[in-house]
């Protein structure tokens, strides 16, 4: 009984952390800040290669079990870095989209709303994957494939480019 209560309390704390992080708590950018300097470059092609199940199967078949575990730990550490950067970038992009959604141009406001929605979803996916990737680093047995993070990141990158065509995003699309 005590274990069940402890697990419920831990689950509630994790959910509170995830929700608070996804909302962006205190957004990084303030008016006049150079937002593009706060973004971290995410190489989507390299990230997708790291999380590709076919690549994992290939490495598993070519390497000894000990070499594969060591290699997989390094791959998951790199994937963790990409996911963390994507979550941070989503938080920064939220700060760009907030003022844009108040634009008098309905098209800009709609794009900004869509960007906000997808940035929050990306943060949620990323923040769910971070603990899983840590587990995969410690116990490299199962598959950890944060494909949704990569897909959502690619989607918000396109949305930032589209928003930048109609609303000043101060070079943000170049930094992504």
Report the 3 state secondary structure along 73-103: HHHHHHHHHHHHHHHHHHHHHHHHHHHHCCC
Q: What is the pLDDT of residue 112?
A: 87
Whether residue 12 is contained in a domain is answered as no
State how many domains the chain has.
Answer: 1
Q: What is the pLDDT of residue 111?
A: 87
* CA 162 to chain centroid: 20
CA distance 119 to 123: 6
With bands split at pLDDT 50, 70 and 90, how would you rate the model's confidence at 158?
confident
More confident residue, 2 or 34: 2
Domain that holds residue 76: 36-175
Tell the burial category of 166 from Cβ atoms under 10 Å away from its Cβ (0-12, 13-18, 19+). middle
Q: What is the pLDDT of residue 16?
A: 67
Residue 17: count other Cβ atoms within 10 Å of its Cβ.
11
Q: What is the pLDDT of residue 29?
A: 47
Q: How long is the chain?
A: 176
Across the chain, the runs of DSSP E, i.e. the strands, are none
Of 48-57, 80-89, 150-159, least confident by mean pLDDT is 150-159
Helix (H) or strand (E) holding 153: helix 147-166
Whether residue 93 is contained in a domain is answered as yes
Instruction: Mention every residue, 6+ apart, whose C-beta is less than 8 A from residue 115.
Output: 93, 96, 97, 100, 156, 159, 160, 163
Q: What is the pLDDT of residue 77?
A: 92
Whether residue 11 is contained in a domain is answered as no
Whether residue 20 is contained in a domain is answered as no
Q: What is the pLDDT of residue 139?
A: 78
Contact 155, 119 (CB under 8 A): no
Question: What is the rounded average pLDDT of the residues 118-139?
Answer: 86
Rg of the chain over all Cα atoms, to the nearest angstrom: 18
Whether residue 116 is contained in a domain is answered as yes
More confident residue, 82 or 173: 82
* Angle at the Cα of 156 from the Cα atoms of 155 and 160, rounded to 5 degrees: 125
Whether residue 1 is contained in a domain is answered as no
Q: Render pLDDT for 39-68 as a digit per residue (tens, 0 to 9).
A: 888 888 888 888 888 898 899 999 999 999
Put simply, whether the predicted model's pTM sits higher than 0.85 gets the answer no
Q: What is the pLDDT of residue 26?
A: 45
Q: What is the mean pLDDT of the chain?
A: 78
């Amino acid at each position: 009984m005590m274990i069940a209560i402890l697990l419920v309390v831990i689950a509630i704390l994790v959910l509170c952390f995830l929700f608070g992080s996804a909302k962006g708590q205190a957004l990084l950018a303030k008016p006049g800040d150079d937002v593009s300097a706060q973004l971290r470059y995410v190489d989507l092609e390299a990230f997708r290669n790291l999380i590709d199940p076919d690549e994992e199967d290939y490495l598993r078949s070519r390497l000894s079990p000990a070499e594969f575990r060591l290699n997989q730990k390094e791959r998951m550490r790199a994937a963790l870095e990409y996911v963390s950067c994507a979550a941070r970038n989503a938080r920064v992009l939220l700060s760009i989209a907030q003022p844009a959604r108040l634009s008098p141009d309905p098209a800009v406001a709609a794009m900004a709303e869509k960007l906000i929605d997808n940035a929050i979803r990306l943060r949620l996916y990323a923040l769910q994957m971070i603990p899983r990737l840590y587990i995969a680093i410690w116990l490299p047995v199962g598959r950890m494939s944060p494909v949704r993070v990569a897909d959502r990141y690619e989607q918000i990158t396109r949305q930032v480019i589209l928003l930048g065509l109609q609303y000043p995003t101060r070079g943000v699309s170049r930094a992504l």
